[in-house]
Chains A and B, each alone.
Chain A
Amino acid sequence: MLLIPCPFCGDRDETEFAYGGDAGIERPADPGTATDEAWTDYLCFHDNPKGPHRELWFHRDGCRRWLTVERDTYTHELRTARLSRP
């Protein structure tokens, strides 16, 4: 089970968090002009890399901040965890 270094709360158990998927997905700025293909890409076709992965975690039972975490999906090594909101 992961230990996630929350910038507000310190090292916290994975059970306090909710996973939010790939942090690199940008919502199209104007969905109305997005083609079906571009929209479907945004909705469904996400990378699932073996290795380093920037992903979102929500500290649900803590500070309720969304964090961007760099995790190695193979070793589960966590490199950084920072606030998603700039």
Chain B
Amino acid sequence: MKRQPFRTAEGGHLIDRSEPLRFDFDGHRHEGYRGDSLASGLLAAGVRIVARSFKYHRPRGVWGFGPEEPNAMVATGVREEVRPNLKATEVPLSDGLKASGQNAWPSVSWDLGSAFGLAGDILPAGFYYKTFMWPARWWHGLYEPVLRRMAGFGPAPAAPDDAFYAKRRIYADVLVAGGGPAGVAAALAAARAGARVVLADENIRFGGDLLRAPGEIEEGDGLAWIDTAIGELAAMPHVRLLPRATVTGYYDHNLLLVAERAGEEAPPGTPQTRLWFVRAREVAIAAGAHERPLLFAGNDRPGVMSASAAGGYAHAYGVLAGRRAVVAGNNDSIYAVARLLRSAGASIAAVADTRPGGGEAPDLPCRADRAVERALGSRRVRGVLLRRADGRTSDRSERVACDLVAVAGGWSPAVHLHAQARGSLRYDEERGLILPDRPGGANRSAGAAAGRFDLDGCLAEGWAAGTAAAASSGHERAAGPPPRSPDRSAGEAPVFWQIGAGKRFVDLQYDVTAADVELAAREGYRSVEHVKRYTALGMGTDQGKTSGMAGLVLLSEALGRPVARTGTTTFRPPYTPVPMAAMAAGLLGEGRDALRRTAADDWHEARGAVFTAAGHWRRPGYYPREGMNEDEAIEAEVRETRAGVGIVDVGTLGKVDIQGTDAAAFLDLIYANRISSLRIGRGRYGLMLREDGRVFDDGVVMRLGENHFYLTTTTAQHHAVLQHMEFLLQTVWPELEVYATDVSEHWFAAALAGPGSRLLLGDVAPELEVSDEAFPMMAVRAAAVADLPALVFRMSYSGELSYEIAVPADYGLALWTRLLTAGREHGLTPYGIEAMGVMRIEKGHVTHAEADGRTTPDDLGLGRMVRADARSIGVRSLDLPALRQKGRQQLVGLSVIDPETRIPPGCQVAESGDLQPAPPLGHVTAFCYSPTLGRALALALIENGRARTGQTVHIASPVIGFSAAAEVVSPVFYDPEGKRLHV
């Protein structure tokens, strides 16, 4: 048998017959040509059943030509790389392509699920609300597994998608959505006027409807005119052409999302899908229109298709969707389609025109005032019954044999983008069209998208839209007169929807029939939004492009009210499906976000540090050691620091320089404790509240001069604190003379900790007096450290004698390496944030695990720090009854009684250890094994915590069946008197 039995001998402007391609569909090998879509390739090969329907598993063929396709749902690739839910009309054929039809098992041709079609009466509209409910015990064993097999569309891929996806942001004066005659005219007019233009079209070739049917522009071939215009646009540096790119979303303030697919011959490294975020001053919407179906029994049979698509396959691909065609419709387009099919080699069995007068076409077997009553055949169409279009039953139906029924139900303008921009719609009763009315953004619709169906009108409207859009964006150079076409046929179609009885499908993808819509109306549904959700009408991947209008008219008729009153469902982005992987582009893996490294990062890396993410930063978690596991290495870092001296990179802390005559007064207002009483050269722990009284952040504030302070924030809240300060300075107290400058990037800091730190500091800073008296706790000194200009603060987070040394960031690595070198003879141990975390738990210092946005200073045991000045941020709120009431959770220490027990993550604190359901007392906020105390410790927030000191509670994780008794103690486990700070 011939490889491509339905390919015509010649013709097909999209294909290249010199390059045959092999592809595989449902395990059968076929052949097509470069330029084919999968749909045209399958039709050329004579494959008529390409998918099964969602609910009844009826055989389905190709209906449409582009993104409106409701039927031909396929998956490409196999297993790991399968890409489900694609429309065969949108999949370009490539050599070696493997594809399969959906909703069928084992194959679309022999599908066991089709038994549901016979039992169709148990699956009416809303069946999932009605059936499979009783008996309840059948649910798990029978209903659920069966429904799961049936539900959804394609298979999910078994492995992550490792193809490349990308995003780009661009700006344009004019974005033109759609590259048919109207869109190309708009782009040309706007570009000639000088505007920066982006022209996007979903097809591989610009031309829109001219791809499907020939037309005449400027006394020549329409497509040739398009090619010339595209050539002119391509040569303009201020124009960007995006073929294979669908404008899918119209968001606020003219931000549009354009999804561009890679071409079949794209060079390696081209993204599979690239999402363009286009901010356009003006938008010209030339998105065209979708052909409507006609409703008759069996209108879903393979071989029943959109007339313009049938003509399009012949014209663009040289493919006959059938050899003997019935063309049926309610408008003049059927005659042109019939002639197109005939010239491509099909025989025309009948041209049925629903209009009483019909059209003038003596060359064709015309049937005026006739409509298709029923399509015959089951696995594919074998013929039709024609009868009087007014549905009178007295006449006998005429039986016409055919293998293709091309139906033309008129056109639905693609108002999606206009409506997504919240433009209003109006219903033109006479023409049966939903049309764009008032625009909701800086946009204008033109051509078929605005209800203009003649070629001359499309060109004129597009030209006018492009000219006006360019002018609105400031480009008024004259673009000349619009191109003209002799085609001025109005292309009007009377509203005609259905005839006869039987299964008349409205939504082919979701198997919604006319009877389902009528049933919903009978059951009391009035809102079109509710009917959509109840019947699933328009909820498929085609989003009702073919079905929406028919459903709307049927519902209005059933409810006995005008269509205009029923209204439409909301048009939401995306216009066509966008792969999730494209949306995730740039949000996964390395490069998803800025990775910040401290100045000493190179050293940590060379030392083999295991890094931990801390916001944008990566910080050394710990430094692995020969012959030790992770826990042992961390414990060694803690022990060596507490016994000798350790060093930790604290370069990630936020640092803010505060200057101005009101600096001290301002700091008193933003901290809950007093700052203004600080002497120059001294620092203080500062506690910052939110206005609602919860702890916001903490750090150290140092006074460098009368009106000059330097403060640190936690790594996590750095940006929030700066925003908070600017908010207060700019909107609440603009009279204060204060300048807050982020100097986090300017300073690097490292902390020396441990009883040996003073000796080491003395070694590296010979000019600095380091005795306890000369350099007391919480003092600040400017000094040369390791020959680098530095600020040295004596403070402690670890609980040991400790100094924090800050140098300009460029000196950071030098400081770190010189300290490490000088520290060799002191036994200096670098430690990471894991050891730091252990030491802070041992000392009961709070972090954001405790200051979690719900806790007050008193909850954390810091109540005495707060001074009684209600003007300071958050202090007034501490007086509110809810924050003073008894029973709040308070910070406590939990000392695990059994020294061998280790605490797992995610533990609650319970009164009893029996793991029975009970309200918890609170939860563990941090836990560790303390090498210093030789047992597991936890910090916890528990109800009335401090009053429970001495009691035994249980640390429990019911999920994993863990429970351990612990004593409630002070959160300061280690050195509560603070003697270690003064060794």
With A31-B876, A43-B691 in contact, do A58 and B727 touch (Cβ < 8 Å)?
yes
Which A residues are in CB contact (< 8 Å) with B876? 31-32, 34, 39
Chain B 715-739, CB within 8 Å of chain A: the 1/0 string? 0000100010011001110100000
Q: Assess the A76–B691 pair: CB atoms within 8 A.
A: no
Segment at the A interface, from B42-50, B250-258, B911-919, B925-933: B250-258
Q: Does B871 contact A (CB under 8 A)?
A: yes
Q: What is the CB-to-nearest-CB distance from B240 to chain A, in angstroms, rounded to a whole number?
A: 19
Complex partner residue of B730 from A40, A65, A75, CB under 8 angstroms? A65
Q: Are B877 and A3 in contact (CB under 8 A)?
A: no
State whether A84 touches B253 (Cβ < 8 A): no
Report the minimal beta-carbon distance from B440 to chain A, rounded to whole angstroms.
8
Q: Does B875 make an interface contact (CB < 8 A)?
A: yes
Q: For the complex, is B870 an interface residue (Cβ under 8 Å from A)?
A: yes
Does B253 lie within 8 Å of A36, measured CB to CB? no
CA distance A36 to B880 in the complex (A): 6
B731 touches A31 (CB 8 A): no
Binary flags per residue of A5-34, CB closer than 8 Å to B gives 1, else 0: 000000001000010100000010011101
- Within 8 Å CB of B731, what residues of A? 56, 66, 84-85
> Is B279 a contact partner of A86 (Cβ separation < 8 A)?
no
Q: Does B640 contact A (CB under 8 A)?
A: no
Interface string of B868-900 (1 = CB under 8 A from A): 001100011101110000000000000000000
Number of interface residues of B (CB under 8 A): 26
Q: Which of A1, A65, A84 contacts B252 (CB 8 A)?
A: A1
Docked Cα-Cα span, A13 to B879, in Å, equals 41
Q: Check: B692 CB closer than 8 A to any chain A CB.
A: yes
Scoring B253, B691, B875, B879 by chain A CB atoms within 10 A of each residue's CB, the highest score goes to B253
Contacts of B205 in A (CB 8 A): none
Q: From residue A11, how far is it (CB to closest CB) to chain B in Å?
A: 8
The reply to whether A20 and B734 form a contact with Cβ atoms under 8 Å apart is no
Nearest-neighbour CB distance to chain B for A29, whole angstroms, equals 9
Known A-B contacts A20-B727, A39-B877; the reply to A2 vs B732 at CB < 8 A is no
Cα-based distance from A36 to B251 in the complex (angstroms): 42
Contact B253–A2 (Cβ < 8 Å): yes
A58-B723, A86-B734 in contact; A31/B880 too (CB < 8 A)?
no
B572 sits at the interface (CB 8 A): no
Task: Name the CB-closest residue of A to B742.
Answer: A64
Q: Across the two chains, which residue of chain B brings its CB closest to A33?
A: B870
Within 8 A of A (CB), among B711-763: 719, 723, 726-727, 730-732, 734
Q: A20-B727, A36-B881, A40-B880 are in contact. Are A1 and B253 (CB under 8 A)?
A: yes
Asked if A66 meets B727 with Cβ closer than 8 Å, knowing A1-B253, A85-B734, the reply is yes
- Are B734 and A27 in contact, with the CB atoms below 8 A? no
The answer, yes or no, to whether A60 is at the interface (CB within 8 Å) is: yes
CA distance A56 to B723 in the complex (A): 12
**Chain B residues near A84 (CB-CB < 8 A):** 730-731
* Bound CA–CA A66/B730 (angstroms): 7
Bound-state Cα–Cα, A40 to B882, Å:
11
A33 to B279, CA, bound (A): 50
Q: Are B871 and A43 in contact (CB under 8 A)?
A: no
Which residues on the A side are within 8 Å of B875 (C-beta)? Answer: 31
Q: Is the CB of A1 within 8 A of B251?
A: yes
* B-side contacts of A78, CB under 8 Å: 253
Q: Mark B679-693, 1 if CB is under 8 A from A, else 0.
A: 000000000000110
Residue B422 interfacial (CB < 8 Å): yes
Minimum CB–CB distance for A34 against chain B, Å? 7
CB under 8 Å from chain A, chain B span 240-276: 251-255
In the bound complex, do residue B726 and residue A32 qualify as a contact, i.e. CB atoms below 8 Å apart? no
Q: For B254, B731, B732, which residue has the most chain A Cβ atoms within 10 angstroms?
A: B731
Give the distance in Å from the alpha carbon of A32 to the alpha carbon of B251 in the complex.
46
Known contacts A43-B692, A85-B730; decide if A32 and B871 are in contact (CB<8 Å): yes
Give the residues from 28 to 86 in chain A that come closer than 8 angstroms, CB to CB, to chain B.
30-32, 34, 36, 39-40, 43, 56, 58, 60, 64-66, 75-76, 78, 83-86
Closest chain B residue to A83 by CB distance? B730
Q: Name which residue of chain A comes closest to B690, CB basis.
A: A43
Q: Known interface pairs A18-B723, A39-B880, A66-B727. Does A2 touch B871 (Cβ–Cβ under 8 Å)? A: no
Contacting residues, chain B, for A31 (C-beta < 8 A): 870-871, 875-876
Measured CA separation A32–B877 after assembly (Å): 10
Q: Is the pair B726, A58 in contact by a Cβ cutoff of 8 Å? A: yes
Q: How far, in Å, is B853 (CB) from chain A's closest CB? A: 14
What 0/1 pattern do residues 420 to 440 of B give for CB contact below 8 A with A?
A: 001000000000000000001
Asked whether A75 and B880 contact (CB < 8 A) given A27-B732, A66-B727, the answer is: no
Q: How far is the CA of A31 from the CA of B880 in the complex (A)?
A: 12
Task: Kindly provide the distance from the CB of A52 to the nearest chain B CB, expressed in whole angstroms.
Answer: 16
* 7 other A-B residue contacts (CB within 8 Å) besides A58-B727, A75-B440, A76-B253: A2-B253, A32-B871, A36-B880, A56-B727, A60-B719, A60-B723, A65-B726
Q: List 10 A-B contacts (CB under 8 A).
A: A1-B251, A3-B252, A3-B253, A31-B871, A36-B880, A40-B880, A58-B726, A60-B719, A66-B730, A84-B730
Residue numbers of B with Cβ under 8 A of A are 251-255, 279, 422, 440, 691-692, 719, 723, 726-727, 730-732, 734, 870-871, 875-877, 879-881
Instruction: Give the 9 A-B residue pairs with the shortest CB-CB distance, closest first.
Output: A32-B870, A31-B876, A3-B253, A31-B870, A66-B730, A85-B730, A76-B252, A84-B731, A85-B734
A residues engaging B (CB < 8 A)? 1-3, 13, 18, 20, 27, 30-32, 34, 36, 39-40, 43, 56, 58, 60, 64-66, 75-76, 78, 83-86
